[in-house]
Amino acid sequence: MYSASDLRKGLKVQLDGEPYIITDFDFSKPGKGQALYRTKMRNMITGNQFTQTYRSNDKFEKPDLEERTMQFLYSQGDEFHFMDTSSYEQIFLTREQLGDNLNFLMDNMEVQVLFFGGERPIDITLPIFVNLVVTRADPWVKGDTSGTDTKPVTVETGYKLQVPPFVVEGDRIQIDTRSGDYMTRVKE
């Protein structure tokens, strides 16, 4: 169990049988008054958000969350199938559940799948850095006076980002999946 004084941004708690993550947190305490723990919560399954104020004597259950290493196998329609690399068990998550992770997800990639209640996959965490091949890059226009020192490219997943001018089609580049930013060009 957590008590109100454990609440902070990023903490995961269980409310009405579902897992929530605290996305915003503020402690307030008017002079001579009670401590108030003001939170914004996001349901980790539905994505629904709400705000709620708690008091010192409120208690919270810890949600049963577990991460397992799994490999991305294939997609079929809106279902994305993963396999547990030790037990060979297979599960899928929907396009909606994966959201922006699809910008960087490649066949055979190993990811952390988050399970709620032991059975139910609800989210994935990608490796921090992924290497993707540039499939479309316009040549750098010499004498460009726009003042920018980057140009747009598209990688094999269809994701578009800004890179330095020397990156060309066919190059493999490293991207930080947390920010979606270009990191470096990868030598083959």
Partner 1 sequence: MLTPRGLQQRSHLLQAVRSFFFSKSYLEVDTPIRLPVLIPEAEIIPIQSEDWFLQTSPELCMKRLLAGGCPQLFQICPCFRSGERGRLHQQEFTMLEWYHTGWSYVELMDECEEMVRAVTVQLAAEEDARADISIHRAGKEISFASPWQRMTVQDAFQQYGGMSAGEAADKGKFDEILVERVEPNLGWQRPVFLYDYPISLASLARQKDENPEVAERFELYIGGVELANGFSELTDPEVQRQRFAHEIGSAGNGTTQQPMPEKFLQALADLPDCAGIALGLDRLLMLVVGAQTIADVLPFSERDL
Structure letter (DSSP) for residue 157: T
Quote the least distance from Cβ 107 to partner 1, whole Å: 42
- How many whole angstroms separate alpha carbon 123 and alpha carbon 116? 9
Query: Residue from 16, 46, 57, 187 that binds partner 1 (CB under 8 A)?
Result: 57
Q: HSE-up of 42 (CA within 13 Å, CB side)?
A: 11
Our CB check for partner 1 shows the closer of 31 and 77 to be: 31
Residue 23 binds partner 1, judged by CB under 8 A: no
Strand partners, 91: 82
Q: Name the residue among 81, 73, 70, 83 with its Cα closest to residue 111.
A: 70
Our finding on whether 186 is near partner 1 (CB under 8 A) is no
Question: 151: closest CA among 136, 143, 163, 142?
Answer: 163
Choose which of 1, 16, 17, 30 interacts with partner 1 (CB under 8 A): 30
* Interface with partner 1, residue 24, by CB under 8 A: no
CB of 60 to partner 1, least distance (A): 15
Query: Is residue 1 a contact residue for partner 1 (CB under 8 A)?
Result: no
| Torsional class of 147: left (φ above 0), alpha (ψ -120 to 50), beta (otherwise) | left
- Smallest gap, in angstroms, from Cβ of residue 43 to partner 1? 22
CB of 53 to partner 1, least distance (A): 6
32 binds partner 1 (CB under 8 A): yes
Minimum distance from CB of 25 to partner 1 (Å)? 8
Residue 50 is a binding residue for partner 1 (CB under 8 A): no
- With binding defined as CB under 8 A, does residue 125 bind partner 1? no
The span from the first CA to the last CA of the chain, in angstroms, equals 50
Q: Name, in order, each residue with C-beta under 8 angstroms of 143's C-beta and a sequence gap of 6 or more.
A: none
Binding site for partner 1 (CB under 8 A): 5, 26-36, 38, 53, 56-57
